Amino acid sequence: MFKYLVIVSPLGFLYGSAGAFLSPENLVGRSGAKFPPDAATLAGLFFSENKSQKFAPHETLKQELFVSGPFWANHGDVANFYVPLPRHRIIDNSKDDEWRLSPQRKWERDPQKLDIEAEYRWQSIDSWKRPNTADIRKNSEMSRAPWEYVSFLHPQMKLDERHVLDEDGLFLENAVQMDEDFCLVYLSTYALPDGWYRFGGEGHMVDIRCQEIASDSTIHQLLTTKIQKTCALLTPGVWGSNHLSYRYPKHSEFPKEGIKMLTDKPIPYRYRIGQRSTERGRLGRGRYAVPPGTVYVFKQPLDKTWWEFPEDWFPREGLPLKHLGCGLCLPVDIEGVA
């Protein structure tokens, strides 16, 4: 079970995390955008810091470290962090709507609201079990992401002095700026000592502190509640083998018959394993994933928590992807599902 909230407060711009830099040869802008850093980034930090701080033997850490995220929160209420809004909920400033299942097990919604667009993609974890979308909007428990993408001129320094190159010394790069009142939040089975760390491929400086998850907290209660006929993903879901990805586990223990999904187009899921110092070097792993917010409805009860999902439901590349919080899901109420 996850024991800690890992709270990451960025210090300044997170350049590079917003995607490929801009140049005359690369005008695609944010096509490679990837923010916030995924759980694999945090796992890499744990293993890196463990070399010097030794809070667990390497093999023990490899077996027992589970991380998941990313989420975000207000510094004043970290325990009530924000998670992706399930796809059956559609909320904007003035209206709300929900998808439901008809008696024929078909997704349907109010035909008078077909033109509604979702303005919000996040909801607080404390509002997860609200009976309907209208209550979430009434209590203002939904939000937009507290970061924005900006572009700025980045200097390219001379090799032998701290001056910009005389020619082509500046290039335009994408960056992310996060509101200082907010922080990123991850779930973990281990805690990092509080302090400043380099975090992510660009080596950004961040302030990290950890907070124990209380047994009476909403997230603890949800994680220990068995999923019956409905659930929604909080993180990207990668199911299947090392060679093929599926929309749900192709496993004999998984109730595949009559499954219904409410989802969006697949998203890239990529991370690196290995060390720069080894002959093999770092190996990039990439595949498509089912996006966060995807809703699953089963014909037969699943009767498992995410913690009880077998590891062979997930690909294993370096670490089983379950250790990186892949496919973390929580039970959710859907109108029309008994």
CATH (domain of 235): 2.60.40
Whether 187 and 219 have beta carbons less than 8 Å apart is answered as yes
Residues 171 and 253 placed together within one structural domain of the fold = no
Distance, CA of 321 to CA of 236 (rounded, Å):
11
Whether 178 and 147 have beta carbons less than 8 Å apart is answered as yes
Q: Would 128 be classed as within a structural domain?
A: no
pLDDT(237) > 90: yes
Residues 146 and 245 placed together within one structural domain of the fold = no
pLDDT(30) > 90: no
Residues 32 and 147 placed together within one structural domain of the fold = yes
Q: Single out the residue in 178, 213, 248 at which a domain terminates.
A: 213
pLDDT(332) > 50: yes
Distance, CA of 109 to CA of 133 (rounded, Å):
13
**pLDDT class of 280 with cuts at 50, 70, 90:** very low
Query: How distant, in Å, are the alpha carbons of 67, 260, 269, 271 from that of 39?
Result: 6, 27, 11, 9
Average pLDDT over residues 246-256: 87
- pTM exceeds cut of 0.85: yes
Residues 70 and 172 placed together within one structural domain of the fold = yes
Could you read off the pLDDT of 160-193 as tens digits, one per residue? 887 778 777 777 777 888 999 999 999 999 999 9
Residues 199 and 270 placed together within one structural domain of the fold = no
Kindly compute the dihedral angle of the four CA atoms of residues 133, 134, 139, 142, in this order, to the nearest 10 degrees.
40
pLDDT(16) > 70: no
What tokens were used for 37? 């850093």
Residues 338 and 241 placed together within one structural domain of the fold = yes
Whether 105 and 257 have beta carbons less than 8 Å apart is answered as no
One-letter identity of residue 111: P
Q: Would 36 be classed as within a structural domain?
A: yes
Each as own residue / partner, the long-range contacts of residues 265-274 (CB below 8 Å, 24 or more positions apart, any chain) are 265/291, 266/290, 266/291, 267/236, 267/291, 269/236, 269/238, 271/38, 271/40, 271/41, 271/324, 272/40, 273/317, 273/318, 273/319, 274/318
Average pLDDT over residues 50-62: 88
Q: Given this model, what pLDDT does residue 281 score?
A: 47
CB atoms closer than 10 angstroms to residue 10: 23
Distance, CA of 44 to CA of 273 (rounded, Å):
9
Higher pLDDT, 317 or 255: 255
- What is the span of the domain harbouring residue 3? 1-85+140-213
pLDDT(282) > 70: no
Residues 3 and 56 placed together within one structural domain of the fold = yes
Higher pLDDT, 337 or 152: 337
**pLDDT class of 12 with cuts at 50, 70, 90:** confident
Average pLDDT over residues 303-319: 88
Q: Would 125 be classed as within a structural domain?
A: no
Q: Would 326 be classed as within a structural domain?
A: yes
Domain total in the chain? 2
In the block, tokens 């070097």 appear at 281
Q: Show the DSSP H helices in the chain as ranges.
A: 39-53, 58-64, 133-138, 218-223
Q: Given this model, what pLDDT does residue 279 score?
A: 45
Backbone angles phi, psi at 194, to 5 degrees: -60, 140
Residues 207 and 242 placed together within one structural domain of the fold = no
Q: How many CA atoms lie within 13 A of 88 on its CB side?
A: 28
In the block, tokens 């770092």 appear at 282
Q: Which of 144, 127, 146 is nearest to 136 (CA)?
A: 127
Q: Would 24 be classed as within a structural domain?
A: yes
pLDDT(311) > 70: yes
Residues 299 and 199 placed together within one structural domain of the fold = no
Q: Given this model, what pLDDT does residue 201 score?
A: 64
DSSP 270-297: EEEES-TTSSS--EEEEEEEBPTT-EEE
Distance, CA of 222 to CA of 101 (rounded, Å):
23
CB atoms closer than 10 angstroms to residue 324: 28
DSSP 313-333: GS-EESEEGGGGTTT-EEE--
Q: What does the mean pLDDT of the chain come to?
A: 86
**Strand partners for 282:** none
Q: Single out the residue in 192, 213, 234 at which a domain terminates.
A: 213
Q: Which of 48, 78, 52 is nearest to 209 (CA)?
A: 78
